[in-house]
Amino acid sequence: DGGITQSPKYLFRKEGQNVTLSCEQNLNHDAMYWYRQDPGQGLRLIYYSQIVNDFQKGDIAEGYSVSREKKESFPLTVTSAQKNPTAFYLCATGTQNTGELFFGEGSRLTVL
Amino acid sequence: QQQVKQSPQSLIVQKGGISIINCAYENTAFDYFPWYQQFPGKGPALLIAIRPDVSEKKEGRFTISFNKSAKQFSLHIMDSQPGDSATYFCAASIEGNYGQNFVFGPGTRLSVLP
C-alpha cells in the first residue's frame, strides 16, 4: 500500500524524556517535512530534507532533531529541550515536479 | 512577508449553501496556491490548487478564485454537504534554495448543517 506511515499514532511522555516519531514513505519522493499543528495556528515547519544526509531547520526547530539516513525515512526526535511539546505532528513528502505536499496521518504527542 | 492570512476562523453553512473561505498573501514570489482539507485526527489532504497565471480553477463543487493584483485567493464550495465539514487550510509556496517552501494559513473550521 503506497503512502506515508507515521508511528506511533498516540504517544505519552513524561517531562524530561526524549521521544522519537517515525515517518516512512514508499512514494519515492525526495523531499520530506515535519510540521507541528496546534489549535488555531495552522501548520508550522520544524525541519525539512530534500536529499539523504541533508536537512534544514524550519521556523520552529529549537528542541527538535532529525536524521535522513535513507530516502524513505525521516524520524523526528522531540528532545527534553522542547518547552511545550504537546501537539499533533505531521510528516509530509513532496516532489519537485508538481510542488504538491502529501501528508501522513499524524502523531499526537502528549506530555504528562 | 511570508505570512498567509485566512478568514473566517470558523464558518457555519446550511446544507446546499455556498461556503467561501478567503486568503491573502504578501510575497509576490509565491507561485503555487493549494487548499488542504483536514478531518479530525487525520492528516491534511490536497483538495485543489492553482498557479498565479490562472484566475479560476474548478474541480467538481470546489472552485479557487485567484486575484493576483489584490494578492488574494478564495475557496468556494458549492452545494455544501455535511461531509464537507472539516478544517480547510490555504497555503502558498515558493521555490527556495532547498526545494519548495510552504506557508500555511491558520485554518477555517467549516460546519455544514444537515
**Weakest mean pLDDT among B39-43, B69-73, B86-90:** B39-43
Cβ distance of A42 and B34 shorter than 8 Å = no
Contacts of B36 in chain A (CB under 8 A): 101, 103
Per-residue model confidence as pLDDT tens digits over A3-45: 999 999 999 998 889 999 999 999 999 999 999 999 877 899 9
Share of chain B above pLDDT 70, in %: 98
Q: Model confidence at A2, in pLDDT bands (50, 70, 90)?
A: low
The shortest C-alpha distance from B87 to chain A (Å) reads 10
Contacts of B39 in chain A (CB under 8 A): none
Q: Give me the numbers of helices (H) and strands (E) for chain B, helices first please.
A: 0, 11
CB A71 within 8 A of CB A93: no
* pLDDT for the residue numbered A46: 96
What letters, b where the CB count within 10 A reaches 16 and e where it falls short, cover B89-98?
Answer: bbbbbbeeee
Cβ distance of B49 and A100 shorter than 8 Å = yes
Average pLDDT value for chain B: 93
